[in-house]
Amino acid sequence: MNERNPGEIGPEQPEQIEREPIQRTLREIARQLGFIETAELQEVERQAVDASKTPDSPENVEKFTNLVAQIQFLGEPITEHETPKIGLAQIGLMAVRAATLFESNHLRDCRDEIYDILAALGYMIEEFQDLIPIFQKLEELYQTLKEA
């Protein structure tokens, strides 16, 4: 989320999107890629989702943005323990961020995160053929969010 600020665009209300399958799929993909969330990280994710439910104000936007950054900060050490597939665990962390953004109704940011995941996986598919089904699931999610 280096170039994007998830708080700049107010939460969107995805009425026509089935929420639970998307959240569940993103979190399952994170696990398949070797990223295992800690209880502390899950608590920060919950706080970010809760923060997104409050009315937009500069303070709430800053709080949400800081919590999403904290997800990255807390997740990085987890990815370092997953050698030799450290790159896959890092992509799994991206999937966790995407799930949190989706749950927070920041659909554009979620879609952008999924796009970044697809780009990263695209470079690894030749080396890890078992990533193809994950890549295809993410492409479907991306299209669903793009059409919403």
Q: Which stretches does DSSP call E strand in 46-146?
A: none
Tokens of 18: 């089935």
Tokens of 57: 């104000």
Classify residue 9 as exposed, middle or buried by CB count within 10 Å of its CB (0-12, 13-18, 19+). middle
Question: What local confidence, expressed as pLDDT, does residue 84 receive?
Answer: 55
Query: In angstroms, rounded to a whole number, what is the distance separating the alpha carbons of residues 62 and 138?
Result: 29
- Summarised one tens digit per residue, pLDDT across range 30-57 is 999 989 899 999 999 999 999 988 877 8
Tokens of 63: 């709080």
Q: Distance of alpha carbon 33 from its chain centroid, rounded?
A: 13
Instruction: Work out the pLDDT band at 70, boundaries 50, 70, 90.
Output: very high
Which of these, 22, 124, 27, 111, lies nearest to 132 by C-alpha position?
124
Query: In angstroms, rounded to a whole number, what is the distance separating the alpha carbons of residues 125 and 6?
Result: 29
Model pTM?
Answer: 0.83
Q: Is the pLDDT of residue 11 over 90?
A: no
- Summarised one tens digit per residue, pLDDT across range 82-139 is 555 668 999 999 999 999 999 999 999 999 999 999 999 998 888 888 899 999 999 9
